[in-house]
Amino acid sequence: MDNQITYPYIDAFLNAMQMPQDAFLQELEAFCRAENIPAAMPMTARLLYVLAAIKKPKRIIEVGTAAGYSALTLFAGSGKTARIVTIEKDEERFLLARRHFREYGASDMIKPLCGDAEELLASIEGPFDLAFIDAAKVATKRHFDLIVPKMSPDGILVTDNVLYGGRTAMPGEPAHKHRTGVRAMREYVDYLCHDSRFVTVVLPVGDGVAVTKLAE
């Protein structure tokens, strides 16, 4: 099943309207697509950039580094002033991302960690002003709950892939191979939208993005 969140002509129009990223990020995005490495979709990356530009976070936490594309997008959006901690469980991708951070001149500002996200999150100290969660769907809520206590009072938490190609919103039971992921995302979105501690909007951008802040 293709992404059924928006119409293809809308995606094409909006993508064509975007200002180009710097050359390094363009090349990194193309590399990720060519090598089938997970990376934020174009409109999702633009959203991350804009949120970082508006928020001007001092510290950012990310779960799911992959090749480092989203971390560098957030870094660029912050005006290259944010300090970022990013977690990746796959050692090969961790090493790849670390190389990309070095090549971008961001090694002093972005700290990649390799290991189990839940174990690492338990020991990382906050506060963070912005969080980006883009890892295994079944673990998303656990990651979120571990990050929330480490957020600044006006912090923003961003979660990718919450609509899962549209499957999360489709009525009925999903195909067996998607069932676990869909159920996890349905429960997670319900949690974000109905727990009084949070204020959340779910955007039909990319593969579905939830933007959450702590309720006042």
Residue range 158-205, pLDDT digits in tens: 999 999 888 887 887 878 788 898 899 999 999 999 999 999 999 999
Q: DSSP per residue over 117-129, as a string? A: HHHHHHH----EE
The CATH label, of 3.40.50.300, 3.30.565.10, 3.40.50.150, 3.30.300.30, for the domain at 8-213 is 3.40.50.150
Residue type, position 20, single letter: P
| Spatial strand order in the sheet of 128-133 | 110-114, 83-88, 59-63, 128-133, 151-160, 209-214, 198-203
Pick from 62-71, 102-111, 165-174: least confident: 165-174
pLDDT at 1: 46
Q: What is the mean pLDDT of the chain?
A: 94
Q: Is the dihedral of CA 193, 177, 121, 63 positive or negative?
A: negative
pLDDT at 172: 79
At 139-168, the pLDDT tens digits run 999 999 999 999 999 999 999 999 988 888
Pairing of strands 128-133, 151-160: parallel
